[in-house]
Each structure stands twice: as structure tokens, then as C-alpha cells.
Amino acid sequence: MPLLEQNGFLPNLDEIKKEDAEKASLMFLNYPNNPTGAVCDRNFLEEAVEFCREYDIILAYDNAYSEFTFGNYAAPSVLEVSDIKKDAVIEFHSLSKTFCMTGDRIGFAVGNADVIRGLGKAKENIDSGVPVYIQKTAVTALGAYRDAKKPKEVQAVVDEYEKRAETLVNELGKIGLKANKPKGTFYCWIGIKGTGQNSMDFVKKSIEQGVVITPGTAFGQYGEGYVRFALTQPSARIREAVERLGKIIG
């Protein structure tokens, strides 16, 4: 499904042909979105659930960045707009993002019991699970949540990434690359069509300047004309990186 800027990087479900929908078994959605940083609201999720219900499609919702949201935006869950006893929905979460447990490779899934059982059958033939001590660490981390409010440890990490996003957007503007601060994730999806370069050429030149970013085409044909920045460096390094990029734009 094409994710286009004019549609807020959301798939247009009305454009999906009936014959294609009837052949489909699974729809995979991810918001807040990697790589675009786009977000969705409950109305979109309601439409997606209804679409999948009509065509008997499993809706797999990757909500790994649910806690990485900025300002007043709160990422909705597909479970808010579906009935897990009737709807074939499953939602995935990752402790890698929320609690910076990237190397521990642990997450969890919630949703319809039949879909969860199907996931279990697939998983038992792929791996044997993470070590128990990591699972206990994850339990402790999740226990920091007492209500809908983010724990102070999580909020501190999110606040830092928001500052980095603001730094990147401001600095890119100084070298002529218009960018909007994302409402979620720790990525910035930047249009480079005005530079006269395609995504791959832009990235090759950025690497020559010691700046590693990802070409939009790494995520599919509709990524041409964009590059993805990951906000995994402190603000000072981000300023230095954008200053170097100014050399390939100027």
C-alpha cells in the first residue's frame, strides 16, 4: 500500500481493489510510523478494523513507538477500536524503544486469542524465547506504569528525543531543507527533491561527509525523494552532521 505525503503517509483504503482485498490474508500497519514518523488517529484505525472485518483479513498492528510521542499527541491502540473476541487483530509492542532494551530483543503481543495462538505456532519453530532474566527485567520495567501517564524514566528519554528532533529540523532549515518535527518515533523523514539529487546519490554524498542516513528507497519505491534521519545522536552531534550536509547542498 503506497504511503504518500499528500495522504499524511497513511494508506488510502478506498483505493484498494476489491479483488486484491479478497485475496489478502493480513494487513500490516505501523503508527507512529517507521520510517516517516507519521501518526494516525482513532478514526483511521476504526476504518482499518472495519476494512479487515469485511474482507476477513488479520490486522497486525505494530505499535512499537506508542510511547515515543511528542506534545499532546497520544498514540491510539487498535484494541481501543476493536473487539478481540470477534475481530482478528493483534498488536505488537517493543521494550527496545520504550525502555532502551534494544539488545535484549524482547517485546510482546496482545489481541485475538486465535491469532495469538497462530503467532505462537510460528514462533516455536523460529526461536525458543529470550532468557528468563531478561523477561524478569521486562516485567519490572512494565511495572513502572501505574496509569496512562508515562513513568518519569520513560518521559525523560522521550523529552530528550524531542529536543533532538527540534534541533535537527531547525538546523536543516538553515541549509535549505524544509522539515517538520514528527509527532512520534525517533526518526525524521526529510524530502530532498529540491536538491536535484535522488535518494541514493544524496546518501552517498552524505557518507562521504561522515554522516550516515538512510535512503528512502530502502523502504520501497515510494521512498524516492526522501531520506530518513535517526535521532540517535545528541544535539551537538546533530548540529555538526547538518553542517557537513550543507556542503553537499550548497
| pLDDT value at residue 67 | 97
| pLDDT value at residue 58 | 98
Task: Express each pLDDT in 139-154 by its tens digit.
Answer: 999 999 999 899 999 9
Q: Judge contact between 36 and 1, C-beta under 8 A.
A: no
| pLDDT value at residue 36 | 97
| pLDDT value at residue 23 | 98
Task: Express each pLDDT in 189-243 by its tens digit.
Answer: 999 999 999 999 999 999 999 999 999 999 999 999 999 999 999 999 999 999 9
Q: What is the mean pLDDT of the chain?
A: 96
Q: What is the pTM of this model?
A: 0.94
From residue 50, alpha-carbon distances to 47, 81, 115, 118, 161 in Å are 5, 10, 17, 22, 34
Provide mean pLDDT across the span 29-46.
98
Which string of DSSP letters, residue by residue, matches the chain? ----GGGTT---GGGS-HHHHHH--EEEEESSPTTT-----HHHHHHHHHHHHHHT-EEEEE-TTTT-B-TT--PPPGGGSS-TTTS-EEEEEEHHHHT--GGG--EEEEE-HHHHHHHHHHHHTT-----HHHHHHHHHHHTT-SSSSPPHHHHHHHHHHHHHHHHHHHHHHHTT------SBSSEEEEE-GGGT--HHHHHHHHHHTT---EEGGGG-GGGTTEEEEE--S-HHHHHHHHHHHHHHH-
For residue 250, pLDDT over 80 is answered with no
Predicted confidence band at 129 (pLDDT cuts at 50, 70, 90)? Answer: confident
Give percent of the chain with pLDDT exceeding 70. 100
For residue 34, pLDDT over 90 is answered with yes
Q: Judge contact between 58 and 115, C-beta under 8 A.
A: yes
Q: Judge contact between 78 and 91, C-beta under 8 A.
A: yes
Alpha-carbon distance of 73 to 109, in angstroms, equals: 23
Domains and CATH numbers, the chain: 5-142 (3.40.640.10), 152-249 (3.90.1150.10)
